[in-house]
Structure 1
Amino acid sequence: MKITRKTAACTILAAGLAATAIAQGASLTADFSKKTSVSDNLYGIFYEDINYAADGGLYGEMVQNRSFEFRKSNRSPTETWKDVNISGASSKSRLRAAKTAPLNENNQVYATLTVKQAGDGMANKGYGGMPFEAGKKYPGSLYLRSPDGTIKSVTITAGGSGKNAKKAKVSIEGITTEWKKFEFTIIPEETVQNGELAVCADTVGKLDADFISLFRADIYRNEPNGFRKDLAEKLEALKPAFVRFPGGCIVHGLNLENRYEWKDTVGPVEQRKEKLNFWGYQQSYGIGFYEYFRFCEDIGAEPLPVLSVGMAHNGEISPASDYQKYAQDALDMIEWATGPATSKWGKIRAEAGHPQPFKLNYLGIGNEDCGQDYFARFKYIAEAVKEKYPHIKTIISSGYTYNDVNFHNTWSQVRAWEKGKKTAGICDLVDEHYYNESAWFLTNGKRYDNLDFYPRGEGQPKVFIGEYASWVDGRRNNLYAALTEAAYMTSIERNGDIVEISSYAPLFAKEGSTQWVPDMIWFNNSESYQTPDYYVQQLFSTNKSDNTVSYSLTQPKTAQKKNAIGGTVGLGTWSTTAQFKDIKVTDEDSKEVLYDSNAKSSKITDFRQETGAWSKSGPVIVQSSADINVRAVLNNEAQTEGIQNYTYELKAQKTGGAEGFLIMFGVKGKKLYWWNMGGWGNTQSCIEKGTADGRTIIGDAKPLNLVNGKWYDIKIEVKGDSYSCYLDGQLIHSYTDAMNFDPLYAHIGDTKDGKVIIKLVNVSGSDQNVDISLKNAPALETSAKATILCGKPEDENSFANPKKVSPVTETITGISDSFTYKTKANSVTVLKLKTK
């Protein structure tokens, strides 16, 4: 999609500037007689159990594998537990797993101990060591039985794991031959970071144990089965308008069996069905839909649940006969959340402790799903929901990036439905996701100004930016990444009548346990800190305007900064075997042939084989591995240094596999461009930019299906900051990857209670003066509050220095309907002006 602007309630009149340029005398002019509304729910949060965000994270439970169900993640049922033998190696007491007469049908495995000496038992260190604070109360519970009646009592200890550690002790008595729940409270005698919980029998005999639980002392709002306080409070401090949950990719799962099923997550915690999650580790469902909805109510946020439509990440799809099942799941969930306590599903909610209905106005149907099968499923489910609950806003996925074939197909389908009489109104919002390089956020600020693609007006589907983040310097959470997001957010708020809701992603990351970066909040077992991205989100969410005031921002022209693509070239495949031949690279300025695979001196070692299985058969280079992300890079970096214009030609043949070719160019160290041909299940062609580990689509995307056995003629022309890609002589992609962007970004709005809010983002390395003119504004007080986030672009927060980048607030004077404000270098500033 080529973004063009026709007309809107505000205009941005800005000249392109390099990020390091200095612009003096920028002018920001607003006209308060012209306004557009901003969505009440514009800024929210997205929560997914990734990076151990739930178990071992937000969830207050300290015991890992408390119910011995790790087998559901193909792991040992007693993993994370160890024998406690007071007599040392000579003890023959043994811990093992059993399934005879389990606690309940959903929790079928338990631990059984054959105790040969009194005092023996088992211990758990939680998620890398339990943190205890001396004198605090830690509530716990467990289920016990002695199948032969030999053991009547146990001793529970908590504290450090060393021989000389002080242990807090609690006695449990009254064990019988039947399962019985026991509750206890532990008060540690000393503060430790690497503690453990132990359960030891007081006599010899047989002991069975299940669902051994110990919660943190500090629980958010002291709620049962609650959240870790410091993490929950950081979310509350964002004042999010909504919470999207439970994902993300865990919604559709690795396969259908692995998908998230909300019905498994409600009811008593010991009866919830545990499952391997999409990101490769066990999820206890201790945080389930009840806890999500309760937290939304606690912080005054709209719940936004997302449900599966029966399409998995691995391509597995449930049969069409299951449409009714998934529609009924949605209807049952709505009844569970909002139905009376006398209804079938509302009763389960009431029994959990919430007889009054929860609020529910949004529903996500599918996550990053796409294609005609998805559209049919969405339509079936959405129509069922709208028929019974017409007030609920339904949300459709547009895939996993911002401008590919799936994205455009989704918007085309939604608009086709809007034109139809029977299906009009079944889709209220389109969920857009994009994780892009920082420059993208600075050069795409007019995305939602494009009224041809995103028309304003009643009845038009709105945008939900469900997941986004800026990637910079290997996906770091530094200030520069946050600044580029802030710059982009000024355009989100400017178009707050088109973009109804938006959320950064992901939310949490546990130190040493990440599957994805960057992330908004980092934590370990005892500490947590906010990133600069967090503070940007907080500045915008707590200072959201109710209306955008029509405004324009002008900046002086400066010299343009060129982005030379340059670099070397390479070959690659994704889940595909292939052959390549007639490979030729030509310097178009000197006409020198830099590489020719048909030359007598050509050999396979001309390429640095990064992954895959590469060989040479005569003039043909063969790649025989079906792995993902297979790459070989031409070893001529020194030869290509300084070359700006070159042509890369080759022939490629797919010999097998699920997808297609990765034709690399502009390779400089880890950074690269590649032409992804036959990507996403052999359906698309696009150019991606970034690194081999993380990229974003640039330019457009087009349908493409590669045929096995056919030789394709491929040519890529690189000219400075532009490229043109040809397939069999036809131009497929052409794009100028400009790296020029403005130093300043802004938004002006007002609120219903009479405040004027001005947001200024300076991504340059110099202070920038901004002349601000507020035409037709109400009379203003002469002083105002300025909240500023600034520092060096590379600055990051850490456990050692959690506030290195954090906002400061100061009072400024001289405010009128015309004044000058100097923004600091590398800063986000929120000016809050009061009317008289």
Structure 2
Amino acid sequence: MKRVSFCLAASALLWSACSTMVPQDEIVINLQDKGAEVASSMYGIFFEEINHAGDGGLYAELIQNRGFEEHELPSGTMLREHKACAPTSPSYYGGHENNWYAHWDEEALKFKAWSVVSEKCDVTKDVITPSEPLHKNTPNAFKLGISNIETGGKVELINSGYWGIAVKENEKYDLRFYLFSRDYKGTVTANIYDTASGEVVASHTFEVNHSGKWVEYKAELIAGKTINKGEFRLEFTANGNLFVDYVSLFPRETFKNRPNGLRKDIAEFLAGMKPAFMRWPGGCIVEGATLENRVKWKETLGDPMTRRGEWVLWGYRSSWGMGYHEFLQFCEDLNMDAMFVANAGMSCSIRNGDYVSEAELEPFLQDIRDAIEYAIGNVKSEWGARRAAAGHPEPFPLKYVEIGNENSTDIYARHFNYLYSHLKKEYPDLTFINTMSWKEREIEMVEQTDMVDPHWYENPGFFFAANGLFDDKQRGKYTTYVGEYACNNGVGKGNMEAALSEAAFIMGMERNSDFVTMTSYAPLLCNDHQPNWKCNLIWFNNEQVVGRASYYVQKMFADHAPDYNLGISKSVGELQTKLIKTGTFGIGSWDTKVDFKDIKVTQHGEVRAIDPSQFEHKQGEWNVLPDGVISQTAIQAATRTLLKDFSSDEYTLELKVLKNEGREGFFIYYGMTEDGMNGYVFNVGLWGNTNVGVECFMDGSTAGILGTTKPISVQTGQWYDVKVEVTPLKATLYVDGKVALETLAETYPLHFFASGYDETAGEVIVKVVNANSKPYVAEFKLDGAAVIENTGKVISLKANSLGEENSFDEPYKIYPEVISYDKFGKNFNYEFSPFSYTVLRIKARY
């Protein structure tokens, strides 16, 4: 599809009707009222190896499983009954044993992306560790045995790439592979093959050295046509035994033409966001499924052939071709600062959660020191010298170090205090970031930090309502980096509603830019063939790169970031109320075994006892015990059973609850749809049995906190008296006769406003979100300006409905439109389209 370009229309006739419409709001902007400065670091990007964002994505390598290491177990695990099992140890998050494992099909993984076809011969194949491996870090190799070959016979070792090999006509590709043989006395031909037409589009033949040593083979292949779903083939035509290892096919033209570089079109999409910084390498993979499975940055350096690689907890192995050096180089190439995320001596809490003691932290501290030295150290230092030897004697732009990822608890606080106290003293110019978010009980245990990093993955209602989330936060202790956020609940793979709610949230961050100085959406990238995460900013396949509506929201904020905020009379419009849904109620838990009994519901003064047989089980393991007890016995997420043939928005539910085992507490569902997939839930004992909150329940899982949470802990072996009162406007939870939490129906505005000033351009920047289905007219008054020019620009992102989104078929369905507008002035009206995010740029001097 032809790309739609940014354009400036000479006329503003389309907007002339605005002046005749009655404004719904008056918005006063004062150019003399200077607000918080917007940091140049505000808008960045966060990269993690998830969704094949690196291998098969940003990293330009075309061969999948190039080193035949895919079946290697995650570090720190053992194979038991087709499972990669972590060691049994207490988790730092709660002290229980998670006993994490991943299903593991070793034989299938050996041949991932590889196959063998033969004609007129016999062939044996396997992936093994030869007695003389190519390199200690890549011990496995593909073993081929060819015998009884006839005239015209051949064996082809075929790689399917990442859902196809993609090459472009007349482009050059660098081939590199290794062979070991003592008795193969034939040739090997490397082919790029078009599976659609049966054509070979590039080819090179080598004489094979059969000296009994590993021999490297290299060639330049030039593609004869453009294909996107091809194969790479190594063709053998003689009897003999061979080992094949490290097969690499790399485009010569990468971003900035860096060797071992990045896929150009994806990198250019990222460059288009004008990111101020990049966070790497994650994300949960920083912690690892086990502590040994964490990212070890030193193993990502050097010749890609020697890089060990590692299985990442998103379900596939990373080659670490895009390693620490490539990350730093990309930061330099995009003129952005680098943020390195370091392990804090603990693995992911929702995987194994194993950790080291404070006495064992010194190696982790030294590892962070070494990473800093590699990036910015003097070339006379050990790791600075390694950087120079890699071709970069000058320092890289490392500015931030995050210690851990989504870690918390007193154990993390002690780890952070130890690491920070040493690192800040040694590197005072670097910014060190804590991951505890705003859990006040825990953050108080941190002696000192430069920044905190809270994360939000929520539904649209949360983000619309969170426009004012930062308004009243205490300043002075630290600044905030919102390192991960996305509207990813109740919006499918993403849509315009998600994008607009994020725009409202970003306005709140920008308005409070003295407190929030850095932000990054997550996840950033997704190969369309393997989405580990349902909502991602940028989609790609072998042919295309597509930005979601959310991508263009991000881009518009970066493109139109003011130097500072201006005083504005209102930041949000009239509140909308979303009543509590009519539906049934239910009971359940999260990773906890729970009993329920004495269940009764009261409506209009009539009390009705509920028999266990009246429930319909949706998820979990449910049993009816003597005395009418309903028992849930699975350690499983979002277990639930719902009352059949019941639907109401006004009733009182009473019951008794007993926690038997597990890491959290219990669930009370209300306003649930009949299929049990959507509604609300009182989550009693969330966040490791520390709080109670109400969450939206969407698509069969919790989908973000509504309102506030309150501290609570559910004790094992103790019966609790629980009561829930539900009305259309309010739901109230009582535990043992006391109000544990009250939540009101969702209320949030659909119109949002922000203003700032761009000193370089001499322009007032006005940002408006209209999330309503109707056009919205506002009257603007610009106070404190000496001169205002009538002609300026309007940049608008809009859709026909909240459910619309870009796609591979329509990549620019939702795309910023730029027009010239000549009706600006001290007072002017403007009509904003339904479902739109709009930026006005007005020339003004004060």
- 2:325 corresponds, among 281, 285, 290, to 290
- 1:654 corresponds, among 651, 656, 659, to 659
In the alignment, which residue of structure 1 is the partner of 2:680?
673
Please give the root-mean-square deviation of Cα atoms over the aligned residues, in Å. Answer: 2.2
2:440 is equivalent to residue 408 of structure 1: yes
SS of the residue corresponding to residue 439 of structure 2 reads helix
| Offset, 1:556 | 7.7
2:506 is equivalent to residue 501 of structure 1: no
| Residues 618 and 528 of structure 1, relative CA distance in 2, 3 Å threshold | same
| Residues 495 and 680 of structure 1, relative CA distance in 2, 3 Å threshold | closer
In the alignment, which residue of structure 2 is the partner of 1:199?
234
Q: Provide the TM-score with structure 1 as the length reference.
A: 0.89
CA contact (8 A) 1:683 1:704 kept: yes
2:781 is equivalent to residue 810 of structure 1: no
CA contact (8 A) 2:370 2:383 kept: yes
Tell me how far apart the structure 2 counterparts of residues 396 and 824 of structure 1 sit (CA, whole Å): 41
In the alignment, which residue of structure 2 is the partner of 1:320?
358
2:474 is equivalent to residue 442 of structure 1: no
Tell me how far apart the structure 1 counterparts of residues 745 and 445 of structure 2 sit (CA, whole Å): 30
SS of the residue corresponding to residue 178 of structure 1 reads coil
- 2:643 corresponds, among 625, 634, 643, to 634
Tell me how far apart the structure 2 counterparts of residues 173 and 216 of structure 1 sit (CA, whole Å): 24
In the alignment, which residue of structure 1 is the partner of 2:80?
none
| Residues 530 and 299 of structure 1, relative CA distance in 2, 3 Å threshold | same
CA contact (8 A) 1:576 1:656 kept: yes
- 2:803 corresponds, among 780, 791, 794, to 794
Tell me how far apart the structure 1 counterparts of residues 185 and 454 of structure 2 sit (CA, whole Å): 58
In the alignment, which residue of structure 1 is the partner of 2:551?
534
In the alignment, which residue of structure 1 is the partner of 2:199?
165
CA contact (8 A) 1:579 1:652 kept: yes
Letter in 1 for 2:164: G
SS of the residue corresponding to residue 423 of structure 2 reads helix
Tell me how far apart the structure 1 counterparts of residues 481 and 454 of structure 2 sit (CA, whole Å): 6
In the alignment, which residue of structure 1 is the partner of 2:131?
100
In the alignment, which residue of structure 1 is the partner of 2:432?
394
Which structure 1 residue ranges, 5 or more long, are not aligned? 1-21, 400-405, 418-425
Tell me how far apart the structure 1 counterparts of residues 658 and 278 of structure 2 sit (CA, whole Å): 47
2:92 is equivalent to residue 83 of structure 1: no
In the alignment, which residue of structure 2 is the partner of 1:243?
278
CA contact (8 A) 2:125 2:142 kept: no
Which structure 2 residues correspond to residues 257-336 of structure 1 after superposition, within 5 A?
257-313=292-348, 314-336=352-374
Tell me how far apart the structure 2 counterparts of residues 584 and 338 of structure 1 sit (CA, whole Å): 66
CA contact (8 A) 2:336 2:397 kept: no
Q: Deviations over 1:648-705 (max 9, x none)?
A: 1111112223333122122125212222223343333322223233411223334433
Which structure 2 residue ranges, 5 or more long, are not aligned? 1-20, 74-103
| Offset, 1:496 | 1.2
| Residues 163 and 775 of structure 1, relative CA distance in 2, 3 Å threshold | closer
Tell me how far apart the structure 1 counterparts of residues 170 and 493 of structure 2 sit (CA, whole Å): 38
- 1:212 corresponds, among 240, 247, 260, to 247
In the alignment, which residue of structure 1 is the partner of 2:594?
578
- 2:563 corresponds, among 535, 540, 546, to 546
Q: Deviations over 1:279-315 (max 9, x none)?
A: 1111111111111111111111111111111221222
In the alignment, which residue of structure 1 is the partner of 2:649?
644
SS of the residue corresponding to residue 538 of structure 1 reads helix
Runs of 4+ off more than 6 Å: none
| Offset, 1:438 | 0.6
Tell me how far apart the structure 1 counterparts of residues 481 and 574 of structure 2 sit (CA, whole Å): 34
SS of the residue corresponding to residue 292 of structure 2 reads coil
In the alignment, which residue of structure 1 is the partner of 2:605?
591
SS of the residue corresponding to residue 56 of structure 1 reads coil
- 1:471 corresponds, among 488, 513, 517, to 488
Q: Percent identity?
A: 33
Q: Deviations over 1:714-738 (max 9, x none)?
A: 1111122212111112211112133
Q: Deviations over 1:11-39 (max 9, x none)?
A: xxxxxxxxxxx993312212222212111
Tell me how far apart the structure 1 counterparts of residues 583 and 251 of structure 2 sit (CA, whole Å): 53
CA contact (8 A) 1:655 1:708 kept: yes
2:215 is equivalent to residue 180 of structure 1: yes
CA contact (8 A) 1:610 1:633 kept: no
Tell me how far apart the structure 2 counterparts of residues 690 and 475 of structure 1 sit (CA, whole Å): 14
Letter in 2 for 1:378: F
In the alignment, which residue of structure 2 is the partner of 1:137?
172
2:268 is equivalent to residue 233 of structure 1: yes
SS of the residue corresponding to residue 184 of structure 1 reads strand
Tell me how far apart the structure 2 counterparts of residues 159 and 778 of structure 1 sit (CA, whole Å): 67
In the alignment, which residue of structure 1 is the partner of 2:29?
30
Tell me how far apart the structure 1 counterparts of residues 22 and 318 of structure 2 sit (CA, whole Å): 51
Tell me how far apart the structure 1 counterparts of residues 199 and 682 of structure 2 sit (CA, whole Å): 59
| Offset, 1:555 | 7.8
SS of the residue corresponding to residue 604 of structure 1 reads helix
| Residues 38 and 23 of structure 1, relative CA distance in 2, 3 Å threshold | farther
In the alignment, which residue of structure 1 is the partner of 2:397?
359
CA contact (8 A) 1:724 1:734 kept: yes
Give the aligned length. 779
Tell me how far apart the structure 1 counterparts of residues 404 and 541 of structure 2 sit (CA, whole Å): 31
- 1:686 corresponds, among 671, 688, 693, to 693
Tell me how far apart the structure 1 counterparts of residues 680 and 358 of structure 2 sit (CA, whole Å): 39
| Residues 37 and 603 of structure 1, relative CA distance in 2, 3 Å threshold | closer
CA contact (8 A) 1:153 1:174 kept: yes
2:706 is equivalent to residue 729 of structure 1: no
Tell me how far apart the structure 2 counterparts of residues 264 and 776 of structure 1 sit (CA, whole Å): 58
| Offset, 1:375 | 0.8
| Offset, 1:707 | 2.9
In the alignment, which residue of structure 1 is the partner of 2:539?
522
CA contact (8 A) 2:560 2:765 kept: yes
| Offset, 1:342 | 2.7
More displaced stretch, 429-438 vs 571-580: 571-580
In the alignment, which residue of structure 1 is the partner of 2:388?
350
| Residues 661 and 556 of structure 1, relative CA distance in 2, 3 Å threshold | closer
Tell me how far apart the structure 1 counterparts of residues 682 and 185 of structure 2 sit (CA, whole Å): 67
Tell me how far apart the structure 2 counterparts of residues 556 and 337 of structure 1 sit (CA, whole Å): 47
- 1:429 corresponds, among 445, 451, 460, to 451
CA contact (8 A) 1:569 1:666 kept: yes
Tell me how far apart the structure 1 counterparts of residues 272 and 257 of structure 2 sit (CA, whole Å): 18
Q: Deviations over 1:449-492 (max 9, x none)?
A: 11xx332xxx5410111111123544442112111111221111
- 1:663 corresponds, among 653, 660, 668, to 668
SS of the residue corresponding to residue 233 of structure 1 reads helix
Tell me how far apart the structure 1 counterparts of residues 813 and 179 of structure 2 sit (CA, whole Å): 49
Letter in 2 for 1:138: Y
CA contact (8 A) 1:548 1:750 kept: no
Letter in 2 for 1:571: I
SS of the residue corresponding to residue 355 of structure 2 reads coil
More displaced stretch, 59-68 vs 473-482: 473-482
Letter in 2 for 1:67: G
Letter in 2 for 1:624: T
CA contact (8 A) 1:98 1:110 kept: yes
CA contact (8 A) 1:62 1:130 kept: yes
Letter in 1 for 2:432: T
| Offset, 1:278 | 1.6
Letter in 2 for 1:247: G
CA contact (8 A) 1:480 1:763 kept: yes
CA contact (8 A) 1:26 1:554 kept: no
More displaced stretch, 700-709 vs 760-769: 700-709
Tell me how far apart the structure 2 counterparts of residues 626 and 814 of structure 1 sit (CA, whole Å): 63
SS of the residue corresponding to residue 392 of structure 2 reads coil
In the alignment, which residue of structure 1 is the partner of 2:422?
384
CA contact (8 A) 1:565 1:721 kept: no
- 2:498 corresponds, among 478, 481, 486, to 481
